[in-house]
């Protein structure tokens, strides 16, 4: 029995929730309503994303809105759908029941989305239907009798266009009116599928029936068994080329600004511990990582644009056969794709995989996907050791190497999954995907997404990275060298002692003691490895060697074999400790986490060993 709807006072904040199927435009509507007044966190006790925002209606009514995870049914089959169901029913431990639901329905796919809307009628909660994507439905030749459908459903229907700010104004006006009464539930025994068919036949006219639509013409190419994968490969290839080509001017400008700021801050300070802390611990560490922000944002710009355009689900469809080669179903693609941003949400997204074996294997290979935190390490070493020249007159060699690193990670993940699933048949059902219509990415949504990524990255710089670099600076600066000592002071420090202690283990793969030191804070966050190298080398070179000259320092002191060995190490080495913690939380097994850590470190050491010695043999290095 559903709990009663909370009473609503006229002067109180209205608590609403957006609910609907995936790909209904719910998140775009949430972004348009709230703008920057939103925060993202996880629901207590589960690793499911929670989006909360605030806004005011034209008449000044304060509204708190939740963007609930997309769901196809109240009969949940995943933790995401569990959260949506429990919040709507008022059963969630930490979330009060919404006073009003906004049922977001795509006008271009009523056959699927109306089914969930009819289920919501049984909740006993007031519902306003946001009939989204009306512009796309009109362009495709569809006519919807909104007034008739509204009377039949017993729920107010507000046509909206969530991609445009003016398109959500009718919904804001509807929220200024009194909350409607809860709709009457469907009679017992009603066939929901038959009811959906009746509603569509009665209130929807589709003049495009029998005509080829633009989406069909595009899909004939993008989903073609031969040309589809070729197009996807080209898209990915261009994406990695632009990470270098577009970012370099921005990186140069950012590096120049950080250098000027450092000089401005350090000039008034006398030589001593404080100046060394700021110069070598904070500026050399954090500044070196901040420089790579343009490349990370360009990578995310591509991912967000491909997602908003409707192309990513089609990429999942194309790669379903690749997942089959790995012994997995296409459901593993989305979690693995998420892992290219960060393995943590990728591991959490594996909860949508119902088969326990496939879910576990997906979690175990997610750290092999190249997360954005590895990008600063890759671009630093590629920039220092790979010549900035073109191949065949148009292809950047540096972009080719970056593309190859991502490709090696993907192939390694497929091979690892194939080994793990060998001899065990998957019970997962074939991949079923709703392919959304193609649409032009919304500039405001892209800007908001990039802003959130930039804030997350800079917050890591301001907390984890700076803290670890200050700690590393302390280890690298103390104890002070004895009287009459020759050589760099860092050689006598705790960091130098730790690095030399680790050296016998890592010398066979070409690492020096400075790299060994950087590996330790790099376990907290991959980007810290770059800032750690900057801190170690800033303390270990002469005063006139500025921290911003890390690239020429590395290229002059490392061999190409060492650089490629370190790249190979980072392709396979376990990601941050947070990733392992989430893996422990999702699998509830420390044994699995320790096994994953061992196999990843083993792969990293083996790959680095092979690359180092093969490169030495090819180049003739001693």
Question: Tens digit of pLDDT for each residue in 473-499?
Answer: 887 777 877 777 666 667 778 888 998
Comparing 74 with 230, which gets the higher pLDDT?
230
- For the beta carbon of residue 432, count every other beta carbon within 10 angstroms: 7
Quote the pLDDT of residue 153. Answer: 92
Bridge partner list, 67: 18, 51
Quote the pLDDT of residue 620. Answer: 84
Let me know: does 122 contact 185? Beta carbons within 8 Å: yes
Quote the pLDDT of residue 68. Answer: 87
Quote the pLDDT of residue 167. Answer: 83
**pLDDT above 90 as % of the chain:** 25
Q: How many residues does the chain have?
A: 622
Torsion over CA: 414, 358, 426, 225 (sign): negative
Mean pLDDT over 311-323 rounds to 78
Which of 187, 210, 233 terminates a domain? The answer is 210
Q: What is the model's pTM?
A: 0.67
Nearest to 102 by CA among 151, 71, 72, 65: 65
440's tokens? 């032009």
Let me know: does 292 contact 530? Beta carbons within 8 Å: yes
Comparing 368 with 323, which gets the higher pLDDT?
368
Nearest to 206 by CA among 110, 112, 129: 110
Quote the pLDDT of residue 424. Answer: 64
State the pLDDT confidence band at 431, using cuts at 50, 70 and 90.
low
Which of 168, 190, 210 terminates a domain? The answer is 210
First to last CA, the chain: 77
| pLDDT higher than 70, residue 79 | no
Q: How far apart are CA 298 and CA 289, in angstroms?
A: 15
Q: How far apart are CA 585 and CA 41, in angstroms?
A: 17
| Mean pLDDT, all residues of the chain | 82
Q: How far apart are CA 622 and CA 619, in angstroms?
A: 9
614's tokens? 């093969």
Nearest to 69 by CA among 36, 106, 23, 34: 23
| pLDDT higher than 70, residue 285 | no
Comparing 465 with 20, which gets the higher pLDDT?
20
Torsion of CA 497, 503, 505, 508, to 10 degrees: 180
Mean pLDDT over 242-249 rounds to 80
Quote the pLDDT of residue 2. Answer: 41
| pLDDT higher than 60, residue 428 | no
Nearest to 130 by CA among 142, 113, 143, 115: 113
Let me know: does 168 contact 33? Beta carbons within 8 Å: yes
**Half-sphere exposure in the Cβ direction for 167 (13 Å, CA):** 20
Q: Name the pairing type of β-strands 100-106 and 127-132.
A: parallel
Q: How many domains does the chain have?
A: 2
**Max mean pLDDT range (514-518, 545-549, 583-587, 600-604):** 600-604
Quote the pLDDT of residue 104. Answer: 94
| pLDDT higher than 90, residue 451 | no
Let me know: does 77 contact 112? Beta carbons within 8 Å: no
Window from 104-108, 483-487, 560-564 with minimum mean pLDDT = 483-487
Let me know: does 397 contact 386? Beta carbons within 8 Å: yes
Quote the pLDDT of residue 487. Answer: 63
Measured CA angle at 155 (ends 152, 159), to 5 deg? 100
Angle between helix 494-506 and helix 466-477 axes, rounded to 10 deg:
100
Quote the pLDDT of residue 599. Answer: 94
- CA separation, residue 349 to residues 17, 24, 315, 360 (Å): 22, 19, 17, 12
Let me know: does 374 contact 381? Beta carbons within 8 Å: no
State the pLDDT confidence band at 317, using cuts at 50, 70 and 90.
confident
| pLDDT higher than 90, residue 596 | yes
Is 413 inside any structural domain? no
- Residue spans of alpha helices (H) in 283-319: 284-290, 293-309, 312-318
Quote the pLDDT of residue 103. Answer: 95
Residues with Cβ within 8 Å of residue 121, at least 6 apart in sequence: 127, 153, 154, 155, 183, 184, 185, 186
**Max mean pLDDT range (64-78, 200-214, 592-606):** 592-606
Site of tokens 């006993």 = 124
Site of tokens 């941003």 = 341
| pLDDT higher than 70, residue 44 | no
In this structure, what are the phi and psi dihedrals at residue 383, rounded to the nearest 5 degrees?
A: -65, -30
Mean pLDDT over 109-135 rounds to 90
Torsion over CA: 373, 374, 379, 381 (sign): positive
State the pLDDT confidence band at 610, using cuts at 50, 70 and 90.
very high
Is 160 inside any structural domain? yes
Q: How far apart are CA 550 and CA 348, in angstroms?
A: 36
Range of the domain at 155: 14-210
Is 545 inside any structural domain? yes
Is 320 inside any structural domain? no
Q: How far apart are CA 41 and CA 135, in angstroms?
A: 32
Is 125 inside any structural domain? yes
| pLDDT higher than 90, residue 202 | yes
Mean pLDDT over 187-197 rounds to 88
Is 500 inside any structural domain? yes
Residues with Cβ within 8 Å of residue 162, at least 6 apart in sequence: 25, 26, 28, 29, 32, 104, 130, 132, 133, 168
| pLDDT higher than 60, residue 274 | yes
Quote the pLDDT of residue 335. Answer: 82
* Burial class for 489, CB neighbours closer than 10 Å (0-12, 13-18, 19+): middle
- For the beta carbon of residue 616, count every other beta carbon within 10 angstroms: 18
- Residue spans of alpha helices (H) in 227-292: 227-245, 247-266, 273-276, 284-290
Q: How far apart are CA 24 and CA 84, in angstroms?
A: 15
| pLDDT higher than 50, residue 529 | yes
Q: How far apart are CA 103 and CA 17, in angstroms?
A: 8
Comparing 471 with 2, which gets the higher pLDDT?
471
Comparing 362 with 528, which gets the higher pLDDT?
362
Q: How far apart are CA 121 and CA 153, in angstroms?
A: 9
Let me know: does 618 contact 561? Beta carbons within 8 Å: no
Quote the pLDDT of residue 203. Answer: 94
Q: How far apart are CA 344 and CA 338, in angstroms?
A: 9
Is 294 inside any structural domain? no
Let me know: does 465 contact 447? Beta carbons within 8 Å: no
Is 191 inside any structural domain? yes
Quote the pLDDT of residue 155. Answer: 94
State the pLDDT confidence band at 157, using cuts at 50, 70 and 90.
very high
- The rounded Cα 89 to chain-centroid distance in angstroms is 30
Q: Return the biggest CA–CA distance within the chain.
A: 94
Quote the pLDDT of residue 47. Answer: 37
State the pLDDT confidence band at 433, using cuts at 50, 70 and 90.
low
Which of 159, 189, 210 terminates a domain? The answer is 210
| pLDDT higher than 80, residue 288 | no
Q: What is the CA radius of gyration of the chain?
A: 28
Q: How far apart are CA 612 and CA 558, in angstroms?
A: 12
Let me know: does 560 contact 619? Beta carbons within 8 Å: yes
State the pLDDT confidence band at 563, using cuts at 50, 70 and 90.
very high
Let me know: does 373 contact 339? Beta carbons within 8 Å: no
Comparing 91 with 123, which gets the higher pLDDT?
123
State the pLDDT confidence band at 4, using cuts at 50, 70 and 90.
very low
Q: How far apart are CA 287 and CA 33, in angstroms?
A: 36
The domain that contains 171 carries what CATH number?
Answer: 3.40.50.300
pLDDT, tens digit (0-9, with 9 covering 90-100), for 6-40: 444 444 789 999 999 887 888 888 888 887 555 54
């Amino acid at each position: 029995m559903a709990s009663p709807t909370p009473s609503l006072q006229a002067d109180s904040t209205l608590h609403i929730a957006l609910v609907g199927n995936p790909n209904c435009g719910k998140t775009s509507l949430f972004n348009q309503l709230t703008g920057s007044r939103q925060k993202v966190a996880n629901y207590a006790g589960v690793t499911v994303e929670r989006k909360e925002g605030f806004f005011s209606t034209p008449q000044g009514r304060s509204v708190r809105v939740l963007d609930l995870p997309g769901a196809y049914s109240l009969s949940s089959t995943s933790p995401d759908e569990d959260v949506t169901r429990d919040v709507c029913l008022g059963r969630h431990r930490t979330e009060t029941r919404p006073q009003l639901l906004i049922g977001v329905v795509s006008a271009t796919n009523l056959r699927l989305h109306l089914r969930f809307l009819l289920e919501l009628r049984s909740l006993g909660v007031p519902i306003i239907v946001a009939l989204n994507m009306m512009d796309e439905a009109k362009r495709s030749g569809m006519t919807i009798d909104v007034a008739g459908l509204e009377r039949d459903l017993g729920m107010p229907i507000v046509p909206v266009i969530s991609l445009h700010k003016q398109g959500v104004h009718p919904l804001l006006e509807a929220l200024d009116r009194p909350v409607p009464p809860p709709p009457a539930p469907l009679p017992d025994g009603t066939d929901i599928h038959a009811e959906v068919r009746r509603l569509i036949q009665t209130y929807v006219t589709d003049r495009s029936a029998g005509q080829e639509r633009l989406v069909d013409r595009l899909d004939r190419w993008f989903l073609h068994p031969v040309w589809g994968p070729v197009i996807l490969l080209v898209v990915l290839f261009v994406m990695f080329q632009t990470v270098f080509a577009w970012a370099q001017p921005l990186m140069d400008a950012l590096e120049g600004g950080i250098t000027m700021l450092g000089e401005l801050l350090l000039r008034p300070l006398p030589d001593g511990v404080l100046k060394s802390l700021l110069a070598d611990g904070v500026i050399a560490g954090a500044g070196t990582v901040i420089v790579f922000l343009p490349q990370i944002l360009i990578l995310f710009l591509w991912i967000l644009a491909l997602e908003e355009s409707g192309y990513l689900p089609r990429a999942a469809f194309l790669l379903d056969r690749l997942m089959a080669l790995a012994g997995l179903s296409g459901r593993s693609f989305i979690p693995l794709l998420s892992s290219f941003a960060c393995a943590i949400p990728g591991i959490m997204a594996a909860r949508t995989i119902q088969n326990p074996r496939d879910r576990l294997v997906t979690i175990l290979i997610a750290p092999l996907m190249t997360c954005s935190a590895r990008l600063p390490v890759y671009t630093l070493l590629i920039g220092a050791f790979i010549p900035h020249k073109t191949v065949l007159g148009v292809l950047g060699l540096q972009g080719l190497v970056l593309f190859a690193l991502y490709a090696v990670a993907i192939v390694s993940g497929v091979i690892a999954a194939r080994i793990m699933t060998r001899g065990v048949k998957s019970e997962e059902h074939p991949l079923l995907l709703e392919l959304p219509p193609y649409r032009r990415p919304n500039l405001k949504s892209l800007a908001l997404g990039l802003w959130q990524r930039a804030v997350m990255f800079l917050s890591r710089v301001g907390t984890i990275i700076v803290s670890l670099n200050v700690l590393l600076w302390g280890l690298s600066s103390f104890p002070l060298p004895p009287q009459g000592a020759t050589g760099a002071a860092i050689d006598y420090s705790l960091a130098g002692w730790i690095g030399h202690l680790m050296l016998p283990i890592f010398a066979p793969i070409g690492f020096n003691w400075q790299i060994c030191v950087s590996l330790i804070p790099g376990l907290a966050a991959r980007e810290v490895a770059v800032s750690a190298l900057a801190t170690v080398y800033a303390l270990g070179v002469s005063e006139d060697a500025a921290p911003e000259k890390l690239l020429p320092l590395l290229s002059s002191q490392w061999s190409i074999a060492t650089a490629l060995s370190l790249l190979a190490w980072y392709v396979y080495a376990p990601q941050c400790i947070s990733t392992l913690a989430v893996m422990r939380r999702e699998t509830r097994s420390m044994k699995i986490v320790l096994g994953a850590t061992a196999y990843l470190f083993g792969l990293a050491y083996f790959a680095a060993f092979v690359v180092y010695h093969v490169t030495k043999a090819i180049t003739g290095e001693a």
